[in-house]
Amino acid sequence: GQQLNQSPQSMFIQEGEDVSMNCTSSSIFNTWLWYKQDPGEGPVLLIALYKAGELTSNGRLTAQFGITRKDSFLNISASIPSDVGIYFCAGLSGNTGKLIFGQGTTLQVKP
């Protein structure tokens, strides 16, 4: 079946540093989404990407939908302690409405 490979699996950075994570797939997706999950809560949508090549920002977050439609990256600039959490990429193919999730990137920020 379809799978998303998300990397890195975890990151431990200093406050103020920039962060980059990405997802790749052997399959084409029509939509890429990035979610953040805090402990004990459900994932919260950060950025949605709907067109190949699209580059979208949300505050300190920037994400891009790869031109091949098989990959996406998320950048966080000037990290702060509240950025701590698990970040998931998710892809949507066809018209099934079924999202495929990556394995997640656990981010820890040292003040």
Partner 1 sequence: GAGVSQSPSNKVTEKGKDVELRCDPISGHTALYWYRQSLGQGLEFLIYFQGNSAPDKSGLPSDRFSAERTGGSVSTLTIQRTQQEDSAVYLCASSLGDYHNSPLHFGNGTRLTVT
Residues forming contacts to partner 1 in the complex (CB under 8 A) are 6, 30-31, 33, 35, 40-45, 48, 50, 88, 90, 92, 95-104
- For partner 1, the closer of residues 44 and 78 by Cβ is 44
In the complex, the smallest distance separating the C-beta of residue 76 from partner 1, rounded to whole angstroms, is 19
Nearest residue (CB) to partner 1, 79 versus 105: 105
26-30: long-range contacts at Cβ-Cβ below 8 A with a sequence spacing of 24 or more? 26/70, 27/2, 27/3, 27/70, 27/91, 27/93, 28/68, 28/69, 28/70, 28/93, 29/69, 29/70, 29/91, 29/92, 29/93, 29/100, 30/69, 30/92, 30/93, 30/94
